[in-house]
Amino acid sequence: MTIEKGLLILESILLVATIILLLYNIREGKNRKGLLLEIGRTTKILTRQEYFLMVIDSMMDANTEIIGSITGRFPAGDDQKIVRNVIENIERLIKRGVRITYLIPKFPDRLRVGYLYAKAGAEVRYSSCLMVHTIRFIIVDERLVVLGIPETIGEKEATRKGYRIPSEGLAMILKGHFNACGKQISFTEYLREVISQSGATPKILAHELQIDEEELKRFVG
């Protein structure tokens, strides 16, 4: 399937989701002005910059839980600022009692982001089943989904566009996919696995991942 066909299918799903949202909110008697605003936000295609701003803003709307399926790519350039903003949000939310869980593909270079998020207080898991080829997402309180997609297929491709979709139904489907995704191991377990399989010393790995060696040793135990 080409990325163009994938986008067409996704936009069709969004249209259906918008109609369902409209009917549901009319039935519930919700404010018409707020409803129209929400529908406008639902169907809007976000640029890369807008997508990450939406992720950061949506995180702060959380009251109980955030789960995210992300690439965990090594941050470079503008991505470093985005990662710093996410880390700051994680730290604030953890203090408020919000549970945050990220699922990242099992690639050694993804340990850098996993380390940063785990250090901030998030639960970080890795799985070999997770190949984020065409879609990445976060789910906020099982009611709001922010989707990200690359321009071309590949787990190393950067996110270029995104969608914000307030939908409990879609959130439930994606959360089910998240939970069913193969054998998931913690950041510490994957770190030990990489050290064992590669033969790299904590000192070498700390240098490659730009992680403080002593902190890395504390994670390894």
pLDDT value at residue 11: 56
The helix (H) or strand (E) run that includes residue 36 is helix 32-43
Q: Which residue has the tokens 């799985």?
A: 127
pLDDT value at residue 125: 95
pLDDT value at residue 27: 46
CA nearest to 67, candidates 159, 17, 136: 136
Non-local CB neighbours of 76 within 8 Å, separated by 6+ positions = none
Q: Which residue has the tokens 């009251």?
A: 63
How many CB atoms neighbour CB 23 within 10 A? 10
Length of the chain: 221
Q: Which residue has the tokens 């990450």?
A: 52
pLDDT value at residue 97: 97
3-state helix, strand, coil split of the chain in percent (to 5) is 55, 20, 25
Average pLDDT of each block of 10 consecutive residues along the chain (221 residues)?
51 55 49 50 67 90 95 81 93 97 92 93 89 75 86 52 81 86 90 90 86 83 73
**Within 13 Å of residue 137, how many CA atoms lie on the same side as its CB?**
24
pLDDT value at residue 36: 46
pLDDT value at residue 185: 95
Does this model's pTM top 0.85? no
